[in-house]
Amino acid sequence: MTITITAFERSPDGGKGLARDTRVRWALEEVGQSYDVQFVSFAGLKEPAYRAVQPFGQIPAYLEDDLVLFETGSIILHIAESHEGLLPRDAHGRARAITWMFAAIGTVEPPILDLVTVRLLEGKEAWAADRLPLVEARIHARLAELSAYLGDKEWLEDQFTAGDLMMVHVLQRLKPSGLLARHATLAAYVARAEARPAYQRAFAAQLAINAPIGA
pLDDT tens readout for residues 134-176:
888 899 999 999 999 999 999 999 999 999 999 999 999 998 8
Is there a cis peptide before residue 60, judged by omega within 30 degrees of 0? yes
Give CA–CA dist 184/27, Å, rounded: 25
The set of residues, in sequence order, having a beta carbon less than 8 Å from that of 92 and lying 6+ positions away, is none
pLDDT for 25: 97
- Statement: residue 86 has pLDDT above 60: yes
Q: What is the pTM of this model?
A: 0.92
Residue 4 has pLDDT above 60, yes or no: yes
CA triplet 153, 155, 160: central angle to 5 degrees? 150
- Measured distance CA(149)–CA(193) in Å, rounded: 17
What integer is the mean pLDDT of 44-50?
Answer: 96
Beta partners for residue 6, in sequence order: 38
Cβ-in-10-Å burial (0-12, 13-18, 19+) of 148 comes to exposed
Strand order, beta sheet including 61-64: 36-40, 3-8, 61-64, 67-70
Give mean pLDDT, residues 90-119. 92
Among 151, 138, 158, 160, residue whose Cα is nearest residue 188: 151
